[in-house]
């Protein structure tokens, strides 16, 4: 039995089916955009651990920072004995996060934790309980995260009931306009929840799992107007969009309006588990002492990695590189429309790009074709992820640091997989 097959058999025997796994091979080494499996095969990683590795696998500056921190100490629990790195990273995020006025930041471990705590902060600050999210959204697998998520299968399947006072409006995609969305919010105010009882709207500036739909500027302006009118907070979930992916440090940098709270995770710490909530200082101070935190929240090792990640993004001009790579990818995908009639749409922001497939000559989603492209690309050494409400979208999340020749090779594989 091969090494991968042996490990696969052991995985099936030891771990539950609820933890779905894409690949049947196992990683033993990774560098920048290259992943090597247990049998020595190499893959170009266009998944990046689901948008975690904008600075690539094991960026030397990140590795160096973590090693230095490990030589000092690995854990104290910040709430017991604090350390400067936590404060330094909070100061840095307070400087760069696009929220108006004085800001404060708290750290957690996962994106779902950041979302949960943003909701806690919003409720504490407003004295209200209602939260309005959007169809197609993904905000995590915890109970509140599932409640906010706008996709049932597989995230909510058999896990109910969900937490109360969570409502969904349609996101402007799949035939829904911004006007439709804002009209539906008014419908919610009339039929389901008084706006005086709504603590916050929460949305992704670019939907991740939902299919890489970019939130229109008109939507952000409309929501900000509703927030200001009714005393509601706006939470921007930047967990997948942050840290250079969209061509700016944050996707909200593309908008003139500002959020009140922002959640971050994934590429914040270059592969180490760390998340954050940054918000207006008076909102962040609403919870009582002890109301926020966690045993591993703001891990010293992850904090050291995050400080290095932010330096790398600036020093290597990764925002500009994201724009360059994203344009090249979209140009390539658009050029294939004639040869691949299943291509229904190419969209994105910066290097957060997706291609949507429908059955040729129709508007019917073609999840089977998306899966076939993904499988064929994997056989040829390119790791891709699908997404979308109908699972008919392939999203591209390669490291922003991918070398030009490897990026070109990936595009060649992608074209061959689509045509195959």
CATH of the domain at 199: 3.40.640.10
Bin 300: left if φ > 0, else alpha if -120 < ψ < 50, else beta.
alpha
CB atoms < 10 A from the CB of 156, how many? 15
- 27 with 72, same domain? no
- So what's the pLDDT on residue 146? 96
One domain, residues 73 and 116: yes
**C-alpha distances out from residue 385 to 51, 158, 230, Å:** 10, 24, 39
Are 324 and 309 within one domain? no
Q: What is the pLDDT of residues 191-201, one digit of tens each?
A: 999 999 999 99
- Residues 198 and 125 sit within 8 Å (Cβ to Cβ): no
Specify the pLDDT at position 122.
98
For residues 290 and 324, membership in a common domain is answered with: no
Domain boundary among 291, 315, 339: 315
Contact by Cβ (8 Å): 124, 286: yes
pLDDT in tens, 216-251: 999 999 999 999 999 999 999 999 999 999 999 999
Distance from C-alpha of 164 to C-alpha of 155, rounded to nearest angstrom:
17
> 142 in helix, strand or coil?
coil
Q: What is the side-by-side order of every strand in the sheet holding 27-31?
A: 27-31, 34-37, 42-45, 382-383
* SS3 per-residue string spanning 211-251: CCCECCHHHHHHHHHHHHHHCCEEEEECCCCCCCCCCCCCH
122/249 same-domain check: yes
Element of type H or E holding 319: helix 318-335
Q: How is residue 222 written in tokens?
A: 């409309």
Domain CATH for 323 = 3.90.1150.10
Q: Which residues pair with 27 in a beta bridge?
A: 37
Torsion of the alpha carbons at 156, 160, 165 and 167, rounded to the nearest 10: 30
Give the C-alpha separation, 156 to 138, whole Å. 11
Query: Do residues 230 and 196 lie in contact, with contact meaning Cβ atoms separated by under 8 Å?
Result: yes
Based on the fold, state whether residues 347 and 373 are members of the same structural domain: yes
Q: What integer pLDDT is reported at residue 2 of this predicted model?
A: 85
pTM comes to 0.96
- CA–CA separation, 371 vs 418, rounded Å? 11
For 162-181, write each residue's pLDDT tens digit: 999 999 999 999 999 999 99
pLDDT at 330: 98
Query: Can you tell me the distance from the alpha carbon of 370 to that of 391, in angstroms, rounded to the nearest whole number?
Result: 8
Can you tell me the distance from the alpha carbon of 125 to that of 137, in angstroms, rounded to the nearest whole number?
Answer: 24
Model pLDDT, residue 304: 98
- Asked whether residue 201 falls in the same domain as residue 286, the answer is yes
For the chain, the residue count is: 420
CA separation for the pair 101, 81 (Å, rounded): 29
The last residue of a domain, from among 315, 350, 374:
315
Q: Please check whether residues 32 and 67 belong to one and the same domain.
A: no
Domain shared by 305 and 328, yes or no: no
Helical H segments across 97-177, by residue range: 111-126, 143-148
Q: Which two tokens stand for residue 367?
A: 């999840």
Q: Which residues contact 240 (CB under 8 A, 6 or more apart)?
A: 50, 51, 204, 206, 208, 266, 352
- From the list 108, 137, 30, 56, the residue with the least C-alpha distance to 287 is 108
Total domain count for the chain? 2
| Cross-strand bridge partners of residue 206 | 214
Q: Does residue 332 sit in the same domain as residue 194?
A: no
Return the residue matching tokens 């970019």: 214
- If asked whether residues 296 and 163 sit together in one domain, one would say yes
Among 22, 27, 20, 21, residue whose Cα is nearest residue 4: 27
Helices (H) and strands (E) in the chain, counts: 13, 15
- Please give the residue range of the domain that contains residue 408: 3-57+317-419
Last residue of a domain, one of 297, 315, 333: 315
**Residue ranges, the chain, pLDDT below 50:** none
280 and 353 assigned to the same domain: no
């Amino acid at each position: 039995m091969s090494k991968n097959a042996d490990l696969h058999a052991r995985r099936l025997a030891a771990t539950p089916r609820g933890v779905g796994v894409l690949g049947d091979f196992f990683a033993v080494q990774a560098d920048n955009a290259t992943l090597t499996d247990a049998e020595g095969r190499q893959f170009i990683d266009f998944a990046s651990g689901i948008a975690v590795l904008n600075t690539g696998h094991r960026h030397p500056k990140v590795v160096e920072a973590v090693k230095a921190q490990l030589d000092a100490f690995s854990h104290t629990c910040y709430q017991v004995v604090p350390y400067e790195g936590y404060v330094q990273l909070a100061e840095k995020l307070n400087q760069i996060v696009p929220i108006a006025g004085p800001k404060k930041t708290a750290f957690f471990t996962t994106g779902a934790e950041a979302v949960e705590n943003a909701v806690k902060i919003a409720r504490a600050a407003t004295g209200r309980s209602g939260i309005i999210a959007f169809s197609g959204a993904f905000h995590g697998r915890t109970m509140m995260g599932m409640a906010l998520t706008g996709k049932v299968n597989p995230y909510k399947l058999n896990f109910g009931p969900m937490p109360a006072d969570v409502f969904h409006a349609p996101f402007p995609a799949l035939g829904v306009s911004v006007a439709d969305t804002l009209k539906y919010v008014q419908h919610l105010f009339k039929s389901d929840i008084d706006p005086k009882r709504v603590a916050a709207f929460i949305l992704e500036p670019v939907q991740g799992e939902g299919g890489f739909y970019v939130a229109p500027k008109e939507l952000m302006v409309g929501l900000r107007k509703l927030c200001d009118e009714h005393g509601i907070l706006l939470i921007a979930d930047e967990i997948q969009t942050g840290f250079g992916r969209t061509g700016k440090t944050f996707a909200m940098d593309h908008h003139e309006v500002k959020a009140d709270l922002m959640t971050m995770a994934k590429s914040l710490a270059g592969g180490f588990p760390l998340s954050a909530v940054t918000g207006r200082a008076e909102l962040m101070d609403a919870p009582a002492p002890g109301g926020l935190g966690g045993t591993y929240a703001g891990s010293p090792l992850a904090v050291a990695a995050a400080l290095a990640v932010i330096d790398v993004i600036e020093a290597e001009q990764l925002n500009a590189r994201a724009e360059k790579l994203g344009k090249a990818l979209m140009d390539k995908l658009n050029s294939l429309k004639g040869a691949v009639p299943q291509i229904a749409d190419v969209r994105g922001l910066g290097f957060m790009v997706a291609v949507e497939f429908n059955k040729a000559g129709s508007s019917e989603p073609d999840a089977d074709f998306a899966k076939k492209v993904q499988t064929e690309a994997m056989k040829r050494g390119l790791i891709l992820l699908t997404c979308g409400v109908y699972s008919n979208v392939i999203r591209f999340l390669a490291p922003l640091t991918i070398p030009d020749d490897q990026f070109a090779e990936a595009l060649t594989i992608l074209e061959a997989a689509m045509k195959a």
